[in-house]
Amino acid sequence: MKNLIIASTSTLHGSGYLDYIMPELEHHFKDCSTILFIPYARPGGITHDEYTGKVAEAFSKIRKNVKGIHEFENPVEAVKNAEGIFTGGGNTFLLVSQLYKFGVMEPLAEVVKNGTPYLGSSAGSNITGLTMQTTNDMPIIYPPSFKTLGMIPFNLNPHYLDADLQSKHMGETRETRIKEFHVFNSVPVLGLREGSWLDVKGDKITLKGALAARLFRQGMDAVELETGSDLGFVK
């Protein structure tokens, strides 16, 4: 049975890395002693070791060991043998490129589908959708495909940001960008605000955290979904 936590962000303003969601994670990873960390998205270009160190420090608070996938000779075997998996944020184009390069995309989908507890934040959440096409990231590298894990029957827009109605900037708002996606694609998109996450247990998908989320569907007006909502209708 699928078992995922899909978080908009790793960090809330003014609090530490993963702090806001740690009580939830303690339960989520209760049967794991070691978590496999996928640092491929490398925020700010830090090394895999530096990124893994930061994650290990956070998880030490709930007495979990963390090992980076780059520490294994065979990353596919690492995924297959993992007790639990966390994919961190950074750049989604880079993350997806690396997952394909190391042949990890398909085995990752397989083990998560079969119940290995998974945590994603930001880019690591983006890849749980059908495609990475509603990422906010810059295309710093050309991935072989935009197709991602498909653990949920829609796409995500993490770090969802409401339009600033006072702004004089003429660049597109997040909502406009997602509407442009729907000119060419029928996949629903969930705008997940910072502090919200999805809890996936089998086919049941529940919105959690303090905030509402914004759902965009092709040819329909966007709607706000309250926390606690069952997202079974979104497909």
Residue positions annotated with a catalytic role: 122, 137, 159
Tell me if 44 contacts its own copies by CB under 8 A.
yes
Contact 171, 161 (CB under 8 A): no
Tell me if 166 contacts its own copies by CB under 8 A.
no
Number of residues that bind its own copies (CB under 8 A): 45
Q: What is the closest distance, in whole angstroms, from the C-beta atom of residue 93 to its own copies in the complex?
A: 8
Member of 181, 188, 200, 208 binding its own copies (CB under 8 A) = 181
Member of 73, 170, 202, 219 binding its own copies (CB under 8 A) = 170
The neighbour count for residue 37, using CB atoms within 10 Å, is 28
Tell me if 218 contacts its own copies by CB under 8 A.
no
- Nearest in space to 68 (alpha carbons), one of 51, 84, 93, 80: 51
How do beta strands 65-68 and 189-191 pair?
Answer: unpaired
Strand order in the sheet with 189-191: 155-157, 189-191, 213-216, 223-225
Please say which residue, 113 or 182, places its beta carbon nearer to its own copies: 182
How do beta strands 189-191 and 213-216 pair?
Answer: antiparallel
The neighbour count for residue 4, using CB atoms within 10 Å, is 24
Member of 116, 135, 148, 196 binding its own copies (CB under 8 A) = 135
Tell me if 159 contacts its own copies by CB under 8 A.
yes
**Coil, strand or helix at 56:** helix
Tell me if 171 contacts its own copies by CB under 8 A.
yes
The neighbour count for residue 107, using CB atoms within 10 Å, is 17
Member of 1, 140, 210, 222 binding its own copies (CB under 8 A) = 140
Member of 169, 186, 202, 226 binding its own copies (CB under 8 A) = 169
Please say which residue, 87 or 126, places its beta carbon nearer to its own copies: 126
Instruction: Return d(Cα 128, Cα 152) in angstroms, integer.
Output: 6
Q: Tell me the CA distances in angstroms from 199 to 26, 27, 183, 194, one per residue in order.
A: 14, 12, 29, 15
Member of 2, 42, 54, 208 binding its own copies (CB under 8 A) = 42
Instruction: Return d(Cα 229, Cα 210) in angstroms, integer.
Output: 12
Tell me if 45 contacts its own copies by CB under 8 A.
yes
Please say which residue, 161 or 223, places its beta carbon nearer to its own copies: 161
Q: Enumerate binding residues for its own copies (CB under 8 A).
A: 9-14, 42-45, 90-91, 93-94, 132-142, 145-146, 159, 161, 168-172, 176-185, 194
